Amino acid sequence: MKLKGFLAVLSVMIVVGFVLGYAVKSATSANPPVHDAADVGVLESGAGMQQVSQQSPDDLPRSRENAITRAVARVSPAVVGINVTEVRQFRDPFHSFFGDDPFFRQFFGDRTYKQEVKGIGSGFIISPDGYIVTNDHVAGNAAEITVTLTSGERLKAQIVGSDPVTDICLLKVEGRNLPSLTFGNSDEIIIGEWSIALGNPFGLFEINDKPTVTVGVISSTGMNLGRVGNRFYRDMIETDAAINGGNSGGPLVNGLGEVIGVNTLIFTGGQSSTYVGYGFAIPINKVKSIVNELRKSGKVGRQGYTGFEAQVVDVNIARYFGLARAEGIIISEIHRGGPSERAGLRVGDIILEINGKNVKSDTDFLGILYDSKPGETWEMKIFRDKRTISISLRIDKDPQ
């Protein structure tokens, strides 16, 4: 009797277990198992890969677009290649033996001759009616200028005006509804942000009528590179985007496609004439003011008058006046009735800073002076009687 009861209970348990197992299996099939985050990621990646494989070829380029490619697409149509012809005058090296002596000239004649010199550069259109910005050292002395557009069209350009001091030249071609670029604000540049250089290195623009694009970051700002001939390179933008011969005059743009500078110089370390690490661009805020003047009058007026004469502070002068380092310029003469006399400057004052910019040499001072206009005010730090004082000087117009 007991055995029959045990078998009956066992039979019931087997039936119940079978029913429960079948229910669990059905529920599991209806609701897939939950995986942890890693497993979900793998599944989603697999689904994504399957989705990409199903994309049409036309969709693939759009999936690779980013801020840089969009900026390049926006900017490229307004970048131009520039070919120039200059007429330069050369002098026979034997001329130095005779000088400009009229006696020898009657036998040997004028030992000078002219020769055409070809050059290349870059530029960018800033208005739909055909104004183009480039460097003075690219086109400022050109006798003939040809501009190549990305459409393949070649146009003759005329010089509207050029400024050797800032190395900016403004050209004009005949055109309507031309693509043009937007100016950014170079005072708002962020160190480390993307920078894109476009131009015509080595004349490559001529091959396919497209600018060459290089990408880097803003490495530094406010770089004072001194004087080259009659040009002053101050407050330059430094970038590691590759800039080579022929890039001069082309735009340096940010990730929004706004022009933040004009590519102008490269650092070579004296080893070569090609890019070895860093390039420099003129800040666009400076370019804006220069271009506005060139557009109005064809030149940049520099009639600023300070009313003093000065010389560089050397080691002996620094020691005599108790200055820790040989830097700045020392006032040697004050013009009577001039702005310096009215400001309270004295002979022997040493100018160390103007409007927050250090004055370490006469090149620094001249660069600041050439950037100034009548009516502007200089806030200066002056070393006098072994202490530093502040003096304000209002720039007048040159009376001459």
Neighbouring residues of 251: CB distance < 8 A, sequence distance ≥ 6:
75, 79, 124, 181, 197, 198, 199, 259, 261, 262, 263
Most confident segment among 186-190, 300-304, 393-397: 186-190
According to the model, what pLDDT value does residue 91 have?
63
- Between 85 and 89, the more confident residue is 85
* Given 122, 136, 162, 167, the catalytic residue: 167
pLDDT interval class at 99 (50, 70, 90):
low
Tell me the average pLDDT across 174-195: 96
Residue 12 or 361, more confident: 361
Would you state the pLDDT for residue 249? 97
Per-residue model confidence (pLDDT) at position 123:
97
Worst-scoring range by mean pLDDT, 111-125, 194-208, 343-357?
111-125
146 vs 9: which has the higher pLDDT: 146
Q: Which pLDDT value is given to residue 100?
A: 58
pLDDT of residue 107: 52
Mean pLDDT, range 147-172, rounded to an integer: 96
Mean pLDDT of 87-97: 60
Q: Read off the pLDDT of each residue in 376-384 and give the average, rounded to a whole number.
A: 95
The chain-wide mean pLDDT, for the chain, equals 83
214, 213, 219: which is closest to 236 by C-alpha?
219
pLDDT at residue number 73: 96
- Answer yes or no: 289 catalytic: no
- Check residues 368 and 55 and name the one with the higher pLDDT: 368
Does residue 148 register a pLDDT over 80? yes
Confidence class for position 38, pLDDT limits 50, 70, 90: very low
Q: What torsion, rounded to 10 degrees, do the Cα atoms 231, 236, 239, 244 define?
A: -10
Of the candidate CATH numbers 2.30.42.10, 3.40.1080.10, 3.40.50.720, 2.60.120.260, the domain formed by 304-397 belongs to 2.30.42.10
pLDDT over 80 at 276, yes or no: no
**Nearest alpha-carbon partner for 179 in 68, 76, 71:** 76
Only one residue has tokens 């994309």, namely 55
Helix residue ranges per DSSP H, 129-181: 136-139
Residue 35 pLDDT greater than 70, yes or no = no
CATH topology of domain 75-172: Thrombin, subunit H (2.40.10)
Q: How crowded is residue 327: how many other Cβ atoms within 10 Å of its Cβ?
A: 17
Quick one: what percent of the chain has pLDDT higher than 90? 62
Does 167 participate in catalysis according to the annotation? yes
Which CATH superfamily includes the segment(s) 186-297? Trypsin-like serine proteases (2.40.10.10)
Q: Which of 136, 137, 219, 364 is catalytic?
A: 137
Could you state, in order of their start, the residue ranges of all structural domains in the chain? Answer: 75-172, 186-297, 304-397
Pairing of strands 79-91, 144-148: antiparallel
Q: How far apart are CA 193 and CA 258, in angstroms?
A: 13
Lowest mean pLDDT among 140-149, 208-217, 226-235: 226-235
DSSP for residue 94: T
Q: Of these residues, 162, 248, 340, 361, which one is catalytic?
A: 248
The span from the first CA to the last CA of the chain, in angstroms, equals 137
| Per-residue pLDDT, 97 | 52
Give the residue-averaged pLDDT of 296-324.
91
- Could you tell me what percentage of the chain is helix, strand and coil, using 3-state DSSP and rounding each to the nearest 5? 30, 35, 35
Which pLDDT band, with edges at 50, 70 and 90, does 83 fall under? Answer: very high
What region does 316 belong to: left with phi over 0, alpha with psi -120 to 50, or beta? alpha
Choose between 116 and 81: higher pLDDT: 81
pLDDT, tens digit, for every residue of 64-75? Answer: 889 999 999 999
Q: Can 75-172 and 186-297 be said to share one CATH topology?
A: yes
